[in-house]
Chains A and B, each alone.
Chain A
Amino acid sequence: MPVARDTMIEVIDVNKEYRRAGAIIRALVDINLTIKSGDFVIIQGPTGCGKSTLLNVMSGLDLPDSGKIIFDGENIARATEDRLSKLRRQKVGFVFQDYNLIKTLTAIENIEALLWPTVLSSKEIENRAIAALRDVGMLERKDHFPVEMSGGEKQSVALARAIVSKPRVVFGDEVSGNLDPESESQILNLLKKINEEYETTMIVVTHRESVAKYGNKIVRMSKGAIESIK
């Protein structure tokens, strides 16, 4: 018997427009989407279809013009920047296309950095970072700087940083965009493993068709609207 899962994110009638050189671009048009806790959602579509904008509003990086974003029971569509910062620190992890690691910090320091502005002790922060590195199989590279790592290794460290605070949701923005097929498969398998082991909700934006097989929910977008959900 399947276990009933909570709703993690609910997007209700969300619209978002941008102004570019005097023209109005409708980035999101009447978006409605429900994501359950533990889902692995892949958002696909061509360049300019609004998938990154959808990721931004769902993760609290940007605010919609209208509609609601219910994140873990809280409407964040009109939240203050302080509230959104707190939400991102406590419940959200990010994995970026370009890894976005700090080049003057080692792998473990890059992961610890997420927890520096918290009340946790330095020892606790270090223990959590070590656990996160172990989860992604990068513990032996903990003292290496980003420049000494391959693309796949950097993305693994970035993934460890994303999960170190045990977030409810991890957002991935073209996580395999800069990786070769082997590293892509390695990173996506890691995301899948974390999704299954910790029931972390994964939301990955990609234009690559090969990524779809990892998700249990595929959202296809076109011209700012959702075309299909499978």
Chain B
Amino acid sequence: MVMRLWKKAVKMSLRERKTFTVFVLMYTVLIFLTSFSLEMAISAEIQTRGLGNTMFLVALIASIFLTLLYAWLIVRRNRIILATLKCIGWSSGNVTSLILGQIFFTTLTGLLLTVETLFHYMAIVGYLQAEFAPTALVINLPIVTLIPVVATVGIFVAVQLVGYFGARGRITKVRPMLALKRVGE
């Protein structure tokens, strides 16, 4: 049953084209920056570690903020629909599964897009370094290795938990009566 709700969440996300595209792109940039800063933080070059740590912290806070913003936006924009779903018999847990499915799918798409982008980036950097080795500028282009990418995936999964609690709290507060609007008559 949860799987069915998640499948429907994917379909609904894809149909909300504008919101989905904007948030996927934002996630992609953030995930890329997180991987990049992690690479700098763990690299052997001491002079880049401080900058890497700062960048990593900024990217982490930004990703938590973005996840919460997305959860808030989805719940806020769809309050009447969520209330309607509760009216017709969905539990808060069912509604949460649908919303989380949308958040997870958006993040996952961002992750896949980042990995794809990194592959191309690495291929281009590898090619440029092989072809134009004497050029210092090209040699100094940073490389993102596998470990920071895997670590970033782990971090973003953990960040989703923050989104989960944020969304669940807001969804529980949506009262089914809201669907009928004129409460108190």
Contacts and interface: CB of A to CB of B under 8 A. Distances in A.
Are the chains A and B members of one assembly?
A: yes
A50 B148 CA distance: 61
A87 B184 CA distance: 23
B89 A161 contact: no
A77 interface: no
Interface in B160-185: 176-177, 179-185
B88 interface: yes
B176 A102 contact: no
A208 B88 CA distance: 25
B80 to A, nearest CB: 6
**Chain B, interface residues (CB within 8 Å), range:** 20 to 34
Contacts of A56: 177, 180, 183
A86 B81 CA distance: 18
Interface stretch (A88-96, A131-139, A195-203): A88-96
A89 B90 CA distance: 7
A117 B90 contact: yes
Contacts of A33: none
Main DSSP-derived SS at the A contact region: mixed
A56 B178 CA distance: 11
Nearest to B17: A104
A102 to B, nearest CB: 5
Given A89-B88, A100-B84, A53 B4 contact: no
Interface stretch (B8-16, B48-56, B122-130, B149-157): B8-16
Given A116-B8, A117-B1, A25 B184 contact: yes
A105 B15 CA distance: 8
A116 B11 CA distance: 14
A50 B183 CA distance: 9
* Residue in B5, B8, B84 whose Cβ sees the most chain A Cβ within 10 Å: B84
Interface string A90-114: 1011101110101011000000011
Contacts of B5: 116-117
A20 B184 contact: yes
A162 B87 CA distance: 11
Contacts of B90: 85, 89, 117
Interface residues of A, number: 43
A85 B180 contact: no
A228 interface: no
Main DSSP-derived SS at the B contact region: helix
A98 B182 CA distance: 12
B89 A104 contact: no
B109 interface: no
Nearest to A112: B8
A48 B89 contact: no
B106 to A, nearest CB: 14
Contact of A92 (B15, B89, B180): B89
Given A82-B91, A102-B84, A173-B180, 10 more contacts: A20-B184, A27-B185, A56-B180, A56-B183, A61-B87, A85-B89, A94-B88, A94-B179, A98-B80, A105-B15
27 contacts: A20-B184, A47-B185, A48-B184, A48-B185, A52-B185, A56-B177, A56-B180, A56-B183, A61-B176, A61-B177, A85-B90, A86-B89, A89-B88, A90-B89, A92-B89, A93-B88, A94-B88, A98-B181, A102-B81, A113-B88, A116-B4, A116-B5, A117-B1, A117-B5, A117-B89, A122-B4, A161-B88
The 7 closest A-B pairs by CB, nearest first: A89-B89, A104-B15, A100-B84, A117-B94, A52-B185, A88-B89, A85-B91
Interface of A: 18, 20, 25, 27, 47-53, 55-56, 61-62, 81-82, 85-86, 88-90, 92-94, 96-98, 100, 102, 104-105, 113-114, 116-119, 122, 161-162, 165, 173
